[in-house]
């Protein structure tokens, strides 16, 4: 209901009467008034005049109703330990495909390889539960696809020069704008779910983040919106996964990649390997050529560019 009310108000310059809203939405004027009051309590500046209601401004908070028809699949927290934990519980309890947990802040935000992810107010922190019809070995392609779709989201909305570092970090210059972490539950021949956790630096302060990070607002000096980023990414990514469009993802990823051709050091769960990044395997693994001329493929790890 709230998304319908906001929709009507945002489409009209003039005040919209309670009577009109109640007729269009098939509920009483009292019900409309209650929703308006709740929206005002959540930070929406809605003017109530004898001629009706007028939306002056709204907060950039990813409340479920911001997502229209998808609202029932969005769980929003002002603060949470980690959206990964909430998504894991929901996924195990059988929540639908493309359920999203989103938070304003996380007290235990996690990065890859057991690192922390600073999650202060102003960043976008969400986890999407996916139930793709894919083999477990194909799951890395989902992460690469998410990185491509998020990079294209940020390029199309804000014109930033987003680039990809293997496997799925989004950088601008040498500073990190987006991090992606995924968790999978699978049997030998089918994926049960993949939880895709994405952190985007939007207008959070990144001065004290290491390795160096940057936010969208620092790059653009324009108004930026967490909700717009999530909605635009969701549109692209859900369409891609539902269309089964993963066959071109390696080529798409390569268009934005800054890792290939570089000397890198890759930290895996058990060792550190150095070499030149020469290519990507069809399953998303990174192919390194070591100083001894050996070729090694790395499936999971974190990559550092040595010649920044």
The region of 68-76, 132-140, 151-159, 176-184 touching ligand BTN under the rule CB under 6 A is: 176-184
Q: Residue 150 corresponds to which tokens in the numbers above?
A: 């998020």
Question: Nearer Cβ to ligand BTN, position 122 or 179?
Answer: 179
Among the listed residues 34, 42, 51, 115, the single contact to ligand BTN using CB under 6 A:
115
The region of 174-182, 232-240, 255-263, 288-296 touching ligand BTN under the rule CB under 6 A is: 174-182
Residue 195 binds to ligand BTN (criterion: CB under 6 A):
no
The region of 37-45, 60-68, 91-99, 178-186 touching ligand BTN under the rule CB under 6 A is: 178-186
SS3 174: coil
Among the listed residues 18, 91, 127, 153, the single contact to ligand BTN using CB under 6 A:
127
Residue 110 binds to ligand BTN (criterion: CB under 6 A):
yes
**CA-angle at 164, arms to 163 and 165, nearest 5°:** 130
Residue 109 binds to ligand BTN (criterion: CB under 6 A):
yes
Per-residue x/- marks for ligand BTN, 9-48, CB under 6 A?
A: ----------------------------------------
Residue nearest ligand BTN, Cβ-based: 179
**Roughly what angle, to the nearest 10 degrees, separates helices 18-25 and 29-41?**
110
Cβ atoms 205, 37 nearer than 8 A? no
Among the listed residues 15, 197, 275, 284, the single contact to ligand BTN using CB under 6 A:
197
Burial of residue 114 (number of CB atoms within 10 Å: 0-12, 13-18, 19+): exposed
Question: Nearer Cβ to ligand BTN, position 55 or 80?
Answer: 80
Alpha carbon distance 277, 140 (integer Å)? 18
Residues in the chain: 308
Question: Nearer Cβ to ligand BTN, position 18 or 199?
Answer: 199
List Cα–Cα distances, 211 to 117, 179, 191, 293, in angstroms.
Answer: 11, 12, 33, 30
Alpha carbon distance 95, 30 (integer Å)? 33
Question: Nearer Cβ to ligand BTN, position 76 or 117?
Answer: 117
Cβ atoms 118, 223 nearer than 8 A? no
Among the listed residues 4, 54, 98, 111, the single contact to ligand BTN using CB under 6 A:
111
Among the listed residues 140, 144, 150, 181, the single contact to ligand BTN using CB under 6 A:
181
Burial of residue 136 (number of CB atoms within 10 Å: 0-12, 13-18, 19+): middle
Cβ atoms 172, 160 nearer than 8 A? yes
Q: Residue 244 corresponds to which tokens in the numbers above?
A: 């089964």
Among the listed residues 199, 275, 284, 285, the single contact to ligand BTN using CB under 6 A:
199
- DSSP-assigned letters across all residues of 251-287: HHHHHHBSSTTSEEEEE-SS-EEEEEEEEE-TTSPEE
Task: Kindly determine how many residues on this chain lie close enough to bind ligand BTN according to the rule CB under 6 A.
Answer: 20
Q: Which residues bind ligand BTN (CB under 6 A)?
A: 82-84, 106, 109-112, 115, 117, 125-127, 169, 179-181, 197-199
């Amino acid at each position: 209901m709230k998304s319908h009310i906001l929709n009507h108000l945002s489409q009209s310059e003039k005040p919209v009467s309670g009577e009109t809203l109640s007729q269009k939405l098939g509920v009483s004027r009292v019900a409309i008034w209650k929703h308006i009051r709740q929206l005002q309590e959540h930070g929406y500046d809605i003017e109530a005049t004898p001629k009706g209601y007028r939306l002056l401004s709204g907060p950039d908070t990813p409340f479920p109703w911001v997502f229209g028809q998808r609202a029932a699949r969005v769980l929003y927290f002002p603060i949470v330990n980690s959206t990964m934990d909430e998504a894991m519980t929901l996924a195990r309890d059988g929540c639908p495909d493309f359920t999203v947990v989103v938070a304003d802040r996380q007290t235990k935000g996690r990065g890859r390889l057991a690192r922390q992810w600073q999650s202060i107010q102003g960043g976008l922190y969400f986890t999407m539960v996916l139930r793709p019809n894919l083999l477990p070995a194909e799951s890395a392609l989902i992460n690469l696809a998410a990185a491509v779709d998020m990079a294209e989201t940020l390029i199309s909305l804000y014109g930033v020069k987003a680039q990809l570092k293997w496997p799925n970090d989004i950088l601008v210059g040498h500073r990190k704008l987006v991090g992606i972490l995924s968790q999978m539950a699978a049997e030998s021949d089918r994926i049960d779910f993949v939880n895709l956790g994405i952190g985007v630096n939007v207008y959070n302060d990144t001065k004290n983040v290491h390795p160096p990070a940057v936010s969208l607002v620092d790059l653009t000096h324009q108004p930026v919106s967490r909700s717009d980023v999530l909605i635009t990414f969701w549109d692209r990514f859900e369409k891609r996964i539902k269309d089964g469009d993963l066959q071109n993802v390696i080529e798409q990823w390569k268009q934005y990649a800054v890792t290939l051709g570089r000397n890198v050091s890759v930290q895996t769960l058990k060792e550190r390997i150095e070499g030149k990044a020469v290519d990507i395997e069809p399953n998303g693994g990174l192919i390194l050529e070591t100083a001894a001329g050996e070729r090694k493929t790395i499936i999971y790890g974190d990559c550092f560019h040595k010649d920044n």
